Structures are given as C-alpha cells and as structure tokens.
C-alpha cells in the first residue's frame, strides 16, 4: 500500500472529555476490559438489561457460519421492551416523542400514550389478519404514527419493511414485491419544503392493476394516516383510514414473547448496482446492541436528556437510533417532520433551542451544508443545552468536525463519530464519550464487544500506519442475519472474500494510525489507483475542504491513458469567499493546494467548480455519476438522487 494517505493521519489535535462529563457518563473504561475478558458473556449481560419473557441460556451460535444466532432459546417482545416496561416501572408520564411538524404543528406523546396507541394498532393489524412472520410495508412521513406503526408490527411478531417516503412508486413496488407485503401503512401526505408532498398516490401506483405483469398481488389492505389533508383516491374494501380504525380498537393487547431470532425487519439498501438488497434483522441481538450503543455512545440519561437524531425512519439510523435504541432506553426524543431549511435556514437550531436538546446526532453532509450557509445562522440561537454531538453516515473531515465542535458544541461537547452500516444494525466503531480522547476525523475504536481489523487482500493484518480493508473478525449481536430471500447473495457479498478467516467484509477502506485508531477512507470502490499509488477519495476531499475557499468537494477516479486513473474533483466554493475574492484561477490554486497538502501525486487532473453535488436522499454523494461526467460518458441512472436535476446542471457547468 502506498503512503500517499498520510495527510489525514497527521492530525494531532486531541480533545479529552471534561472531568464533569466523564464523572457522569454512562460508559466507562472498564467496559472494554469486561468485554475483552469474556466477549459473549459481556453481550449476554447487555441482553439481560432487556425484559425476556423466557430467559435465554444460549449466547452466540456460530456453528453454521455465516448464519449466526444470538440468545436463540430466549423469548422477548421488542415493543414491550420499548413501551410497556417503562410504563410498568412508573414512567408512563415521561414524554417519549416531542414531535414538531414542518408546518409548526406540535405533539407531545408520553410513554403511556404511545403504549396505548401501539396496542390499538396491534389489534387493528391482527384484525386485518396480519400475524407473526407477515410483512408490512411502512411508507410514512416523520410523524408519531410512523414510530407507532413500526412498534405495532414488532409487537405482533410481524416484519416491517420501512420504505423512505422520498422513494418513487417504482421503488416502493419493488420493495413490496420482494418482501411479499400483506399490508401497507401510509399517509395521505406529509410536509416537505413548505408544502404537502403526497404519498398515497405512490402507493396507489405501486399497487395499480398488475394483470398480466406476472406478479402475484400480496397486499390486502392499505392503512392510511391523515396528515397532509390532501385529497386522495380511495379503493373501498382495500383502503382504511387510521383515524377511523385505530381509535375504535381496543387498548388492551397483551405482548406475547417471540423467539430472539424472530425477524424484526427488512430494510432495503440502495445498493450501487443491481436490485436493492433486503437486509434482514432479527429481534433479541438487534435490540440488545441498539439499546446498549444508544446508552453508552449517546450517553443517554433518560430522566434528563432530550435526544435528537435527525435521521428519517426510512434509513437504518432512523430504525436503530430513533425507534428502537432510544425507546428501549426510555429516552425523551425530538421527532421532526421536515427539511432542515424550512421555513428558514435556522430551523434545526430553532428546534434545539425550543426543546432544549442535549444530545444531537446527525450526518456530516448536513454539517457541511450548514458550514456553507455560515455560522451566523446557528449563532442566532441558544444551543447551550447541547452536551454531546454525534456524526454518522460518511467520514467527517477534520474541518467539519472542528466547525461542529466550535460553532455547535461551544468547544465543550464531545463529538462521537460513529461508523456502522445497515448491515451491522448498530454502531460498531466510535469513541465512548467521557472515556475516549477524541480526534477530529477518526471514528477511532471498536466498541466494547466488537472486534475489527484492517487487512490486505489476503486477510492479513496490515498493521499500524498502512491502508487496507476493514473487516469485522467476530460475529456481533445486531449483525444482519441475511439478505431476504437470497442466502447466496448474503454469503457472496459479505463473507466469501475472507471465507477462510471467517471475517465480515464491510466494503470500506480503512487505516489504523499509530495509536491504533481507525480512520475510514471511504468505500473501497472509491479508492483510486493513480500510477500505482493508492489514493483515497475521502482524503483528497478532506484536503480540498481544508482550503478556506471550499465548502464541499467530491473526488472521483477517472480512467486515464497514462496513469490508469486520474483524480477529478468537483468543488462548491463558499459564497462568503466569492464575495471577497475573484473566481479566476481558483481551480489551479486548488490543484496546487492539494499537491501541497498530500503530495504531487494527489493533485487533481481536473477541478470543476459546480453549484451542487449529486446526493442520494440519505445524503451520500453519488460518485458513480460524477465519474460518468469525468469520463465524458452519458450520465447513468439518476433515479435515486434527491434532486434529479443536479446532474444536468453539473454536466452543463463542466462543458
Ligand atoms: C449508518 C449508515 C454505510 C456506509 C459505510 C461507510 C459509510 C457510515 C461512517 C461511514 C465513515 C463514518 N459510513 N458511517 N464512513 N465514517 N462514521 O450510514 O449505514 O447507509 O448502510 O451506510 O456509510 O462507507 O459502509 P448505511
């Protein structure tokens, strides 16, 4: 491996937690020791924090790799753990959800109220013939009913497949068909960017007459929440209003225990190519790690914290750190329906001030877009309640990390950069706040009970200082149990590469620094090879964003006759910079800058200054499309972009 990725690793800043934070923190250094001494016993202890209808006697069963089971002879009810248990412990009046609609609507839902609602919905579902093992598609905006729907499905032992509300009718149809869903729960519409965005028509289209399509219709009913108030078409016999059925249902519903390995949900990952993969998660192990990681990484003190994870429930982050983790811990959390900049660019900061948010978990792409707007916006709000900040979804470059710390965290709140995936179910690599000295840009250390390594193509550890592939060396409780309906693809995608070692292949490049901290270098398909040197897109992006002129950057490797691949960068310039400086010559200045920061080999061949970058709805930059532009090809499939117009604008700017 080349030594061209040193730039990121020259980071020398360290931030130790304050003594006050460390004293009060839920996590403690001895967790690492306990887990190292007896990893499976450690996870069993965490699992026993949950309520088990039938206690388990088994831990991990890895006798049939790569198919793991955890706590398999135990029985639990996931919804009971997230709801009834807190009410029975006397916390029924505690607020579970502080809901803020984009249009300013508000609802405060206590644990007792949410439990009552979920019991009614569970009765409605069973009345519609939905039972254990059946699949239910959920296509809803960020409203309390979304959380209630997930928990009601879990309560009856059925399997949910949440489909992000921004996905098209076609994507919804593909997911409904792959899972064979019996019921769809949706809404008329929800608020997005200041207006009602309809959802029900997409469901109608997805379920439109399929005569002759060869697909057997599995959906029997559509349960519709009224949120947007927009007109909807109605199919009698199939469609039911939530507000006409749920309130009339009985609030008595006994939570039955289900086996720990009962499937809990399928979540489709956007997948770079081919049809989306239905990632399958089960109950006991998943909830164990969801609750544990939320407790120790987000340092949840349920009596006092107001937690806010900005992810949509359509993504894994919304599953684990909006619905399951925080509710299993009895936390109070904000649920926000809309976009960060509606009706004004300070909306998120306003929400933090209004509810006194203490723990805030968001994505680097959001942080960088706030950087682009400027610090004046957050500085108009009182953010002094914030005591812990989290990041997830992609590498956070040191500049964004420092901005987050300084402008949002007032230079005191620890930042946890959390690495994990839809497939891992819960956080795997992160600092423990109050324990770990944090480093801008590094996700740092595997959590207690998690074992990772960085290896070469043969599975041999590359040691400190070298780049390689991130692997997880031992099974973990919240690991995916498979790809829905495709066990072969599960094996091939994640396990075949290091079959002899039994390692899980994460698909990410990584490097360990001299302290043994993990630096994520982006997907391995984003690692470029220029003249035989390995270069990471993340590293060059980080260098670019480190220049005072640059707000955002995306780097791709484009094929090049002489060097194999060449570095091509797309950058957005800060508006504030353009006000004070001419735009001429910027591209060549930036080329030189990258050369200075990393070395001449990393100097982009081309730098294009653009107004926007193509992003998926979950905020990931779609480098594949930028590569098409950089290589002068017709731009490929743009349907998973949040804004499908972006690519035509970029293509025009590049020409
Ligand atoms: C939780 C989530 C997973 C991929 C993963 C990696 C990237 C996530 C990261 C990170 C660097 C972090 N990723 N967190 N890269 N630092 N803290 O995002 O799941 O949507 O499945 O994406 O995201 O490349 O492999 P998912």
The per-residue DSSP string of 323-388 comes to IIHHHHTT-EEEEE-S-TTSSSTTHHHHHHHHHT--EEEE-HHHHHHHHHH-TTTGGGS--TT--E
CA distance 327 to 605: 50
Q: Domain of 158?
A: 111-282+298-339
Q: What is the pLDDT of residue 583?
A: 86
Which of residues 12 and 165 earns the better pLDDT score? 165
CB 440 less than 6 A from any atom of ligand 1: no
Which residue's CA is minimally distant from atom 19 of ligand 1?
A: 421
Q: What is the pLDDT of residue 624?
A: 85
CB 417 less than 6 A from any atom of ligand 1: yes
CB 523 less than 6 A from any atom of ligand 1: yes
pLDDT higher than 80, residue 431: yes
Element (H, E) at 128: none
Please give the average per-residue pLDDT across 645-649, as a whole number: 86
pLDDT higher than 90, residue 328: yes
Any binding-site annotation on 193? yes
Gap from CA of 420 to ligand 1 centroid (Å): 5
pTM: predicted TM-score of the whole model, two decimal places: 0.87
Domain count, the chain: 2
Strand partners, 483: 279
CA angle 79, 83, 88 (to 5 degrees): 130
Q: What is the pLDDT of residue 644?
A: 77
Question: How does pLDDT run across 228-250, given as a tens digit for each residue?
Answer: 999 999 999 999 999 999 999 99
Please give the average per-residue pLDDT across 140-163, as a whole number: 98
Half-sphere exposure of 45 (CA within 13 A, CB side): 10
Question: How does pLDDT run across 38-77, given as a tens digit for each residue?
Answer: 999 999 999 999 999 999 999 999 999 999 999 999 999 9
Gap from CA of 524 to ligand 1 centroid (Å): 12
CATH number at residue 647: 3.30.300.30
Please give the average per-residue pLDDT across 612-621, as a whole number: 85
Is 253:234 a contact under the CB 8 Å cutoff?
Answer: no
Any binding-site annotation on 94? no
CB 353 less than 6 A from any atom of ligand 1: no
Which residue's CA is minimally distant from atom 11 of ligand 1?
A: 395
pLDDT higher than 50, residue 5: no
Gap from CA of 395 to ligand 1 centroid (Å): 8
Q: Is residue 332 part of a domain?
A: yes
Q: Is residue 307 part of a domain?
A: yes
CB 443 less than 6 A from any atom of ligand 1: yes
The number of beta carbons lying within 10 Å of the beta carbon of residue 273 is 8
CB 507 less than 6 A from any atom of ligand 1: yes
Please give the average per-residue pLDDT across 395-405, as a whole number: 92
Which of residues 158 and 619 earns the better pLDDT score? 158
Confidence of residue 272 (pLDDT cuts 50, 70, 90): very low
Q: Is residue 449 part of a domain?
A: no
Gap from CA of 622 to ligand 1 centroid (Å): 14
Please give the average per-residue pLDDT across 495-507, as a whole number: 95
Please give the average per-residue pLDDT across 472-483, as a whole number: 98
Which of residues 127 and 620 earns the better pLDDT score? 127
Of 278, 428, 508, best ligand 1 pocket probe by most atoms within 8 Å of the beta carbon: 508
Whose structure tokens read 């950089």? 630
The number of beta carbons lying within 10 Å of the beta carbon of residue 525 is 14
Is 510:520 a contact under the CB 8 Å cutoff?
Answer: yes
CB 400 less than 6 A from any atom of ligand 1: no
Any binding-site annotation on 398? no
Number of helical (H) and strand (E) elements in the chain, helices listed first: 22, 30
Query: Over the chain, what is the mean pLDDT?
Result: 92
Please give the average per-residue pLDDT across 186-209, as a whole number: 94
Any binding-site annotation on 395? yes
Confidence of residue 9 (pLDDT cuts 50, 70, 90): low
CA distance 233 to 188: 9
pLDDT higher than 90, residue 645: no
Q: What is the pLDDT of residue 273?
A: 43
Which residue's CA is minimally distant from atom 1 of ligand 1?
A: 421
Two structure tokens written together for 250: 């009985």
Q: Is residue 649 part of a domain?
A: yes
| Backbone phi, psi, residue 43, to 5° | -70, -35
Which residue's CA is minimally distant from atom 3 of ligand 1?
A: 421
Gap from CA of 469 to ligand 1 centroid (Å): 14
Confidence of residue 93 (pLDDT cuts 50, 70, 90): very high
Please give the average per-residue pLDDT across 292-312, as a whole number: 97
Which of residues 365 and 58 earns the better pLDDT score? 58
Any binding-site annotation on 455? no
Q: Is residue 24 part of a domain?
A: no
Gap from CA of 394 to ligand 1 centroid (Å): 5
Which residue's CA is minimally distant from atom 4 of ligand 1?
A: 421
Any binding-site annotation on 617? no
Percentage of residues of the chain with pLDDT beyond 70: 96
Two structure tokens written together for 216: 């057997």
Any binding-site annotation on 545? yes
Q: What is the pLDDT of residue 269?
A: 82
DSSP code of 601? G
CB 421 less than 6 A from any atom of ligand 1: yes
pLDDT higher than 60, residue 4: no
CB 616 less than 6 A from any atom of ligand 1: no
CA distance 145 to 596: 53
pLDDT higher than 50, residue 2: no
Q: What is the pLDDT of residue 22?
A: 96
**Residue 155: exposure state from Cβ atoms within 10 A (0-12, 13-18, ≥19):** buried
Confidence of residue 7 (pLDDT cuts 50, 70, 90): low
CA distance 64 to 477: 15
Percentage of residues of the chain with pLDDT beyond 90: 78
Q: What is the pLDDT of residue 275?
A: 64
DSSP code of 510? E
Confidence of residue 527 (pLDDT cuts 50, 70, 90): low
DSSP code of 168? -
CA distance 534 to 557: 11
Confidence of residue 307 (pLDDT cuts 50, 70, 90): very high
Q: Is residue 539 part of a domain?
A: yes
DSSP code of 233? -
Least confident of 28-42, 394-408, 472-486: 394-408
Ligand 1 atom at minimum distance from 429 CA: 17
Strand partners, 609: 571
CA distance 380 to 383: 9
CB 276 less than 6 A from any atom of ligand 1: no
CA angle 126, 150, 57 (to 5 degrees): 85
Please give the average per-residue pLDDT across 356-360, as a whole number: 98
Instruction: Give me the helix-helix angle, 111-127 and 144-155, nearest 10°.
Output: 60
Q: Is residue 167 part of a domain?
A: yes
Q: Is residue 443 part of a domain?
A: no
Of 279, 318, 394, best ligand 1 pocket probe by most atoms within 8 Å of the beta carbon: 394
CATH number at residue 238: 3.40.50.12780
Q: What is the pLDDT of residue 3?
A: 37
């Amino acid at each position: 491996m080349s030594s061209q990725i040193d730039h990121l690793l020259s980071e020398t800043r360290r931030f130790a937690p304050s003594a006050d934070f460390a004293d009060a923190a839920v996590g403690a250094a001895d967790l690492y020791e306990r887990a190292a001494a007896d990893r499976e016993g450690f996870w069993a202890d965490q699992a026993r924090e949950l309520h088990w209808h039938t206690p388990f006697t088994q831990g991990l069963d890895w006798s049939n790799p790569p198919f793991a089971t955890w706590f398999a002879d135990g029985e639990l009810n996931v919804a009971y753990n997230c709801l009834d248990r807190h009410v029975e412990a006397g916390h029924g009046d505690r607020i579970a959800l502080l809901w803020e609609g984009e249009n300013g609507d508000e609802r405060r839902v206590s644990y007792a109220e949410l439990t009552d609602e979920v019991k009614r919905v569970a009765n409605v579902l069973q009345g519609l013939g939905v039972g254990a093992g059946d699949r239910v598609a959920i296509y809803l905006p960020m409203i309390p009913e979304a959380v209630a729907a997930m928990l009601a499905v879990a309560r009856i032992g059925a399997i949910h497949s949440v489909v992000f509300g921004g996905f098209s009718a076609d994507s919804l149809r593909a997911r409904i068909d792959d899972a064979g869903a019996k019921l769809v729960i949706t809404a008329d519409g929800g608020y997005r960017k200041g207006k009602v965005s309809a959802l029900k028509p997409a469901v109608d289209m997805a379920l439109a007459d399929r005569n002759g399509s060869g697909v057997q219709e599995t959906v029997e009913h559509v349960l519709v929440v009224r949120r947007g108030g927009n007109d909807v078409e109605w199919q009698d016999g199939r469609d039911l209003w939530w507000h006409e059925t749920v309130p009339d249902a009985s609030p008595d519903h006994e939570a039955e225990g289900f086996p720990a390995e009962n499937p809990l949900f399928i979540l489709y990952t956007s997948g770079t190519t081919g049809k989306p993969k239905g990632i399958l998660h089960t109950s006991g192990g998943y909830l164990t790690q969801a609750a544990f990681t939320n407790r120790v990484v987000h340092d949840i003190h349920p009596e006092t914290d107001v937690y806010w994870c900005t992810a949509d429930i359509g993504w894994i982050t919304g599953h684990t750190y909006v619905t399951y983790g925080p509710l299993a811990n009895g936390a109070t959390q904000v649920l926000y329906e809309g976009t960060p900049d509606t009706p004004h660019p300070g909306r998120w900061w306003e929400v933090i001030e209004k509810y006194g948010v203490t723990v805030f978990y968001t994505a680097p792409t959001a942080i960088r877009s706030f950087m682009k707007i400027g610090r004046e916006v957050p500085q108009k709000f009182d953010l002094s309640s914030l005591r812990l900040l989290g990041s997830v979804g992609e590498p956070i470059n040191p500049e964004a990390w420092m901005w987050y710390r300084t402008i949002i965290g007032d230079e005191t709140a620890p930042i946890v950069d959390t690495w994990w995936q839809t497939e891992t179910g819960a956080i795997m690599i992160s600092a423990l706040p109050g324990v770990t000295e944090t480093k801008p840009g590094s996700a740092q250390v595997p959590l207690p009970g998690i074992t990772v390594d960085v290896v070469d193509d043969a599975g041999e550890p590359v040691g400190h200082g070298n780049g390689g592939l991130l692997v997880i060396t031992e099974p973990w409780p919240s690991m995916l149990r498979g790809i829905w309906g495709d066990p072969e693809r599960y094996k091939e995608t994640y396990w075949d590469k290091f079959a002899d070692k039994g390692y899980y292949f994460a698909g990410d490049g990584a490097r360990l620094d001299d302290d043994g901290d993990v630096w994520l270098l982006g997907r391995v398909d984003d690692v470029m090879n220029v003249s035989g040197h390995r270069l990471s897109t993340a590293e060059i992006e980080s260098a670019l964003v480190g220049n005072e002129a640059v707000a955002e950057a995306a780097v791709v490797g484009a094929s090049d006759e002489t060097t194999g691949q060449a570095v091509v960068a797309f950058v957005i310039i800060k508006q504030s910079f353009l006000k004070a400086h001419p735009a001429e010559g910027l591209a060549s200045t930036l080329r030189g800058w990258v050369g200075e920061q990393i070395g001449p080999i990393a100097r982009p061949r081309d730098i294009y200054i653009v107004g926007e970058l193509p992003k998926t709805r979950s905020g990931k930059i779609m480098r594949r499309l930028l590569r098409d532009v950089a290589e002068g090809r017709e731009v490929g499939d743009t349907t998973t972009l949040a804004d499908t117009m972006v690519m035509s604008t970029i293509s025009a700017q590049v020409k």
